[in-house]
Amino acid sequence: MGGSVEVRQFLLRYEGADGGSSTTLAGGLPAQRTGQGDAQQRVSDDQVRRARLAVANGALGVDDCVQLLDMLGLTLDEDGQAPVQR
């Protein structure tokens, strides 16, 4: 049931604003981190969005998607930020 309407609707509730990343290489691959300066934004908003879509595509249903997103730190906290971005 990957990519079902239910899963897409679930993801739309958790989508943040799309943000670009200046640390990406051609093809959308993230560049290697070089030091402490890169620690502020480890995972871009676009990477989180893509990860959510990949999880939704492989999820068996809404409950499965919720559980996977939570385990991977891709759900938003009270501040509107995914734990994977801290």
Domains in the chain, number:
1
**pLDDT for 51:** 93
In a domain, 58, yes or no: yes
* Residue 1 reports pLDDT greater than 60: no
Could you give the CA distance from residue 13 to residue 51 in angstroms, rounded to a whole number? 15
CA angle at 72 for the pair 67 and 74, rounded to the nearest 5°: 90
Q: What is the mean pLDDT of residues 60-70?
A: 93
> In terms of pLDDT, which residue wins out, 78 or 30?
78
In a domain, 86, yes or no: no
In a domain, 29, yes or no: no
In a domain, 27, yes or no: no
Query: What average pLDDT does the structure give for the chain?
Result: 74
In a domain, 24, yes or no: no
Q: Taking the CA atoms of the chain, what radius of gyration do you get in angstroms?
A: 14
* Residue 28 reports pLDDT greater than 80: no
- At 77, the pLDDT band (50, 70, 90 cuts) reads confident
Domain span at 4: 1-14+40-79
| pTM over cut 0.75 | no
Q: Are 46 and 19 in contact (CB under 8 A)?
A: yes
